[in-house]
Amino acid sequence: MSSQFALNDVEVALSPQERFDEYLQSRGKRITQQRRVLVEHVFSRHEHFDADELMDALSKSTAKQAGGAQVSRATVYRGLEELVEAGLLRKMSLDGRAVYEHDYGYPQHDHLYCQQCQKLIEFQSQELTQLREEVAKEHNFRVTGHRLIVTGVCQSCATNRHRRLSPVDLI
pLDDT at 162 over 90: no
For residue 151, the one-letter residue type is T
- How far apart are the C-alpha atoms of 73 and 36, rounded to whole Å? 15
* Structure confidence at residue 64 as a pLDDT band (50, 70, 90): low
pTM over 0.85: no
Helix 16-26 / helix 73-85 crossing angle, nearest 10 deg? 90
List the CATH code of the domain at 107-171: 3.30.1490.190
Torsion sign over Cα 160, 162, 168, 170: positive
Binding residues: 110, 114, 117, 146, 154, 157
Average pLDDT over residues 125-130: 93
Average pLDDT over residues 61-67: 58
Binding residues for Zn(2+): 114, 117, 154, 157
Please check whether the domain covering 12-106 is classified as CATH 1.10.10.60: no
Q: How confident is the model at residue 45, as a pLDDT?
A: 87
Task: Give start and end residues of each alpha helix (H) in 16-98.
Answer: 16-26, 33-42, 51-64, 73-85
- How far apart are the C-alpha atoms of 50 and 123, rounded to whole Å? 20
Nearest alpha-carbon partner for 43 in 101, 94, 82 = 101
- How far apart are the C-alpha atoms of 84 and 106, rounded to whole Å? 14
Binding residues for Fe cation: 110, 146
Mean pLDDT of the chain: 87
Domain boundaries, the chain: 12-106, 107-171
